[in-house]
Amino acid sequence: MSKIKDIEILELGEEGEKSSPWSSTILVLRLITSDGEMGYGEAPTTLMTRPVYEEMREVGRIFLNKEVDDIRKNYLEFYKHSFYLPVSMESTAALSAFEIASWDIVGKQYGAPIYNLLGGRVTEDVRAYANGWYDECITPQDFLTKAKEVERMGFTAAKFDPFGPNYDKIDEKGVEKARKIIETLKEKTKLDLLIECHGRFSANSAIRMAEGIEDLDPFFVEEPVHPDQITGLKRLRERTDVRIALGERVLNKNLFLPYFTSDLVDVIQPDVTNVGGIIQGKESAILADSFGVEVAYHNAFGPIQTAATLHLDYSISNFLIQESFEKFWPKWKKGLVKSGYNLDDGHFSLSGKPGLGIEIDEKIIDTYKTQRMEPFNPNEPPWVVKGTFKAR
């Protein structure tokens, strides 16, 4: 057994970042044990970089000097002390980084990749879908031009938000503009089309949107209503046959249960970096499987998150498809992890090395350390892909 003896929290980012604001900074955690083993974790930011950073320091006070193998016990110890944990993204994000880094160390100690410690490999083919590819896209032709590039990269599925500046409400004209974009890609590409709503619509507008595009048979429609409108989601569910996906803002496995028991979702999207880490990510999938619901983990931040998520993909029986921003990251983020997983022709694979199986480029960490918040644009919410929240 070895204890956690050193904790380092690192914020990375680049001045003049051109990627979407929510991923312009990342938080990397480095744990070092009493016997010198090192493990890495990652926490998401999403316009909360510094609050999450500070919460990671709080989690560190619980994990310091604890046995690194006691992953669930250490998780529950923080749960006991953190009064708002189940509904505080700052807390769950910070805790997730420590949980992931602990798994990385434990895997290295046992000489096994994490997925082998979770019961072994079940999924043989980790199909990816592209996201982040449609920056500055406004017109159907804009989307089509870039979607063709996505196809040339080998992807067979892509997610995108065709709703421009519509927020909360969308009228028939707005629906028709979105429909034209979807229709163009459906007719002129071979991609499966995943429609991103970003939880932006009231229930009435979500119903109008869904009824306006359902005949185009999207692969799924993600977060069609505001995440706190569960009753509205139920009304939407009664009015449309589109497949509903959600879950990136669901912060532990228990909070998924109302969606399952009320039959409100077809695909869940837990985020390993805010749901509580690998155990919560795996148990969320197990619960989903009991209700015949598939899993497409949310994965929008950095390469440590991707590696951790792929271990879950390998180990669950109800895997559907995996989100990927990799091809559209800035150079520094692409280079942070030198090895550990590959993305080729739209499919992921892991190295099979112990722990997360990744090798970190320390030069990237040294070069891109920062202490800033994400950029803020008062004319465009930070959750959209850059340059798309514009009138058409």
* Catalytically annotated residues: 198, 298
DSSP string, 124-165: S-EEEEE-S--TT--SHHHHHHHHHHHHHTT-SEEEE---TT
Q: What span, in angstroms and rounded, lies between the C-alpha atoms of 150 and 143?
A: 10
Residue 299 to residue 306: CA distance in whole angstroms: 6
Which residue type is seen at 182? Answer: I
The residue assigned the tokens 């995108």 is 160
What is the crossing angle of helices 49-63 and 89-110, to 10°?
50
How many angstroms separate the CA atoms of 199 and 237, rounded?
A: 15
Coil/strand/helix, residue 349:
strand
Contacts of 259 (CB under 8 A, 6+ apart): 230, 246, 247, 250, 265, 268
* Contact by Cβ (8 Å): 266, 220: yes
Hey, what are 302's tokens? 């950095």
The answer to whether the CB of 385 falls within 8 A of the CB of 368 is no
